[in-house]
Amino acid sequence: MANNSYYEVLERASSFLESKGRDSHAARYVLLTRLGWNTTDWLLHMREEAPVAVQRQFQQDIEQLEQDYPAQYIVGKASFYGEDFLVTEATLIPRPETEELVELCLNENKRQNIRVLDIGTGSGAIAITLKKLRPDWQVSAVDISAEALEVAKKNAARHNVVIDFRLGNLLEPFANERFDVVLSNPPYIGEQEIAEMDQSVLKYEPRQALFAKEEGLALYKEICEYLPNVLDKEGKLFLEIGYRQGLKVTQIVASQFPQKNVQIAKDLCGLDRIVWMK
């Protein structure tokens, strides 16, 4: 390969992705992540010659980005709440909106030594973040995918936290156990929303972590139906939702817990994003 600087390599890749109608910012993210560089490192070294091995790897990465393969899967990790988490095609890529679910849970629960359950943990990002920030909490997590749980366990080890991970469907593995807080970012996309979705999500992220029946509401109903068996009488519930689902999910929760205070929290864009109950 020609003697090209890091800057030239990135500029050429970015222009190529733009010409193909792809996100050119993904090229910078992948290159800097591969190199282990931050913005300061980039400014210090971008005019240096890029080694041939780096250029070859980056060319392969760009070819994958052209095929809509997510940048996070290419580098094998994603950022969540300021930390890196391993991700694979068995796990959903953590989204910034889910950070707001964690933030609300932390703000609304100041007690120590509480029992917390994360339903549909995927990469484990929610459960692990809560445990790191509240070490005295007893955090459990469940997922129906054995492959996802393996990734979550690796993430827990990397972040040096102990989580009670269990394989199973929703609340079934926790029969006869009680929790002070239950939270979940369940599959909530209805099949009717496919036309609005990014191709990289549709092609490569796990469908069972994305889609739910009954216009995306099926799992909220299942969770709430069984929840009285595991949630403490004074317990709290936090559910991430699709931005059109606020009223319907509120009704689902309130029908099962008529004595509770059920609220909708909006995300940073002003859209309904969390239904929570106390």
Per DSSP, 51 falls in state: P
Q: Compute the CA torsion angle 105, 213, 167, 223 (nearest 10 deg).
A: 50
Binding-site members are: 120-124, 143, 185-188
Rounded Cα–Cα distance for residues 271 and 172 (Å): 32
Q: Which amino acid is at 244?
A: R
Look up residue 215 and give its two tokens. 């216009």
Q: How far apart are CA 182 and CA 222, in angstroms?
A: 14
Which residues lie across from 265 on neighbouring strands? 274
For Cα atoms 241, 134, 82, give the angle at the middle one, nearest 5 degrees.
Answer: 65
Annotated binding site for S-adenosyl-L-methionine: 120-124, 143, 185
Where b means 16+ CB within 10 Å and e means fewer, 109-128 reads beeeebbbbbbbbbbbbbbb
Measure CA of the first residue to CA of the last residue in the chain; give whole Å.
Answer: 61
- Residue numbers in the known binding site for substrate are 185-188
